Amino acid sequence: MRPLRNVIYIQTQNAWVHKDNDNLVMKVGDEIKARVPIHKLQGLVCFGQVSISPYLMAHCAENAVTITYLNQFGKFLARVEGPVSGNVLLRRTQHLTGANRDKSVAIARTMLSGKLYNQRSVLRRYLRDYGDKENEQTMSAELATAEKRLSRCLQQLTDCDAIDTLMGREGEAAQVYFGVFQHLIRQPDFQFDARRRRPPTDPVNALLSFCYTLLTHDCRSALETTGLDPASGFLHQLRSGRPSLALDLAEEFRPMIDRFVLSLINKRQLSLKDFEEWPNGSFTLKEEPRRTLLAAWQDRKQDTLTHPWFEESVSVGLLPWLQAQILARFLRGDCDSYVPFLWK
Amino acid sequence: MDLEPIYLSRLQHYLYCPRQFALIELEDVWIENQFTAEGKVLHQRVDQPDKQKRGDIRTVRSLRLSHSTLGIEGVADVVEYHRQPDGTEQPYPIEYKRGKPKSHRADEVQLCAQALCLEDMEGLAVPEGALFYGEVRRRHGVDFDEALRELTLQTIQACRDIVQTKATPKAAYQAGKCRNCSLIEQCHPQDFTRPASAWLAQQLAQD
């Protein structure tokens, strides 16, 4: 497998990032804070007031290092990209496939199968680790029921022959899964009753939303590297400005993100005081704990696991790229189905 | 209508592996590895457009070549023009390769295709040329005989077929070749021989 290159997240305000030979150098005032060889990078993500020299930008563009600008709360602003991957035949096949109802449904179904399968893995892992603790028997019973209902939803996906019914099943599975999510949280301070976005109204939802954004960025980069059009999806509706295919691809990885968020909370890497509550009742992560989260996220991406389809050990950070590859190879006719990542 | 040009350097990709040719030509896949990087460095030295004259030999580097009817084009590393006793000049193409002479004929076909272009452009026969191998630092003379010319024309036609059908051939795994191929990560020669939908159905049915 190819080496996993790093994504650097820069959130120091007023940082100046430039190129020094083949290194990226970050300065704040006159002080050099970091120096990294550029060939080890896959992407740069800048939060807020971060400046990048045009020469570094050009060098990144030539070497397929993506630069993404977010505002200081993580909202997407812009991205800088070089003239890479012009696989027009792949994109054309993608668009034609997207316009074909049956083919779109087939791909969307495999992707959602992956998502439900992986949601079930999250519950199963918990049941395996904590299911026999006596004081938790009610919870375990509820989790076991939820696990069975997810299995049923997963089977029922096979019969769905329209995007609407697929979405219906997916919604049902989400209710079952998030209905017992609170049982997976082992820190009593953190309460969760339902998935709420726009805006997240509690710390757990704030964490989920923030991490899903990171995931979508990674999926988008993976698709672009592979030559796929991130805007043209099969499950998510096309809408100008929406990375529909990146959202499609992210579906199968969301449960891994959920598990990552749970571990941050359960291992007490974050606490309630790391969050800021806003007058509208929404929550965001403060700057310093966001640093903790991003460092943990980078560590997580270095972990390796066995990819069931490739039967090969791969790092977590490469998974979106591998899945984008499978999708591209499927669209170009190498195999008879897209194969989602199944988290064993 | 003019034919879409096929680049001389791509012919050797086809002969190495038709799928490799298609991935580069149709799917814009290109990954640098040790071998391609070494080749590039070697060529940076050769590829300075340049003319020289020494005795009866005039040397031209980085000469652009094309063929009016075959639809092939590219750049010759070096063409030597050997002055003949009658005062005419005989073109003699030389192609630089990293490594050493190979058992397959990909390098010879690329050189022969250059000869076909030279014949078309100069209007005279080009019976021989040479390959220079970086690892052994030695020239190997190549005769453009009937068999090699036939193989070269067949290869051009096979490449043209892929460009016209726009279909990427399926992978045919060969350990020795695939391990040295810079595109192995994109090609996945061993992974898509299993039926994917059956595999997935089976995984999802397992409890």
Confirm if A310 and A322 have CB atoms less than 8 A apart.
yes
Shared-domain flag, residues B162 and B100? yes
Nearest to A86 by CA among A219, A218, A248, A229: A229
User: Do residues B165 and B179 share a domain?
Assistant: no
CA distance A330 to A340: 11
Mean local confidence (pLDDT), A242-267: 93
User: Considering only CB atoms, which chain B residues are within 8 Å of A338?
Assistant: 196
Asked if B199's CB is within 8 angstroms of A334's CB, the reply is no
Q: Encode pLDDT of A78-130 as tens digits.
A: 778 766 556 788 899 999 999 999 999 999 999 999 999 999 999 998 888 87
3-state helix, strand, coil in chain A (%, to 5): 50, 15, 30
- Indicate whether B62 and B134 sit together in one domain: yes
Smallest Cα–Cα separation from B130: which of B85, B66, B80?
Answer: B80
Residues B47 and B140 in one domain: yes
The DSSP letter of residue A340 is P
Binding residues of A for Mn(2+): 170, 236, 251
Instruction: Judge whether B10 lies within some domain.
Output: yes
B171 chain-A contacts, CB cut-off 8 A = 334
Closest-CA residue of chain A to B201 = A158
Do the domain assignments include residue B109? yes
B1 falls within a domain: no
Residue B131's pLDDT is 93
Give the nearest chain B residue to A338 (CA atoms). Answer: B196
CA distance A276 to A285: 6
Domain edges within chain A: 6-80, 91-332
Please tell me whether residues B124 and B31 are part of one structural domain: yes
**Structural domain includes residue B117:** yes
Structure token digits, residue B68: 């009016």
Question: Do residues B137 and B201 both lie within one domain?
Answer: no
- CATH code for the domain in which residue B153 is found: 3.90.320.10
On chain B, the residues whose CB falls within 8 A of the CB of A110 are 200
Asked if B128 and B66 sit in the same domain, the reply is: yes
Is B116 within 8 Å of B152 (Cβ atoms)? yes
Cβ of A337 and B200 within 8 Å? yes
CB atoms within 10 A of CB B65: 20
Each residue of A166-209: pLDDT tens digit? 999 999 999 999 999 988 888 888 888 888 888 888 899 999 99
Contacts of A92 in chain B (CB under 8 A): none
Would you tell me which CATH number, out of the four given (3.60.70.12, 3.100.10.20, 3.10.20.30, 3.30.429.10), belongs to the domain A6-80? 3.100.10.20
Nearest to B28 among A110, A227, A325 (CB): A227
Q: Taking an 8 Å Cβ-Cβ cutoff, which residues of chain B contact chain A?
A: 26-29, 166-168, 170-171, 185-186, 188, 191-192, 195-197, 199-200, 203-204, 207
Closest residue to A334, CB basis, from B26, B170, B204: B170
Are residues B21 and B107 located together in one domain of the fold? yes
Print the domain residue range for B115: 6-169
Topology agreement, domain A6-80 and domain A91-332:
no
User: Are the Cβ atoms of B196 and A90 closer than 8 angstroms?
Assistant: no
Same domain, B108 and B191: no
Per-residue pLDDT tens listing for chain B (207 residues): 467 889 998 999 999 999 999 988 888 776 655 555 565 665 665 556 666 777 788 889 888 999 989 999 999 999 999 998 888 889 999 998 887 777 778 899 999 999 999 999 988 899 999 999 988 888 899 999 999 999 999 999 999 999 999 888 988 888 888 888 888 888 888 888 788 999 999 998 886
Q: Do B168 and A342 touch (CB under 8 A)?
A: no
- Domain identity same for B131 and B200: no
Count other C-beta atoms under 10 Å from residue B146's C-beta.
8
Q: Are residues B185 and B112 in the same domain?
A: no
| Beta carbons of B27 and A330 less than 8 Å apart | no
User: How many domains are there within chain B?
Assistant: 2
Contacts of A52 (CB under 8 A, 6+ apart): A17, A18, A44, A46, A67
Chain A: residue whose CA lies nearest to B189: A334
Amino acid identity of residue A302, one-letter, is Q
CATH architecture for segment(s) A91-332: Up-down Bundle (1.20)
In a shared domain, residues B128 and B191: no
ipTM score assigned to the predicted complex: 0.73
Whether residue A90 contacts residue A227, with contact meaning beta carbons closer than 8 Å, is answered with yes
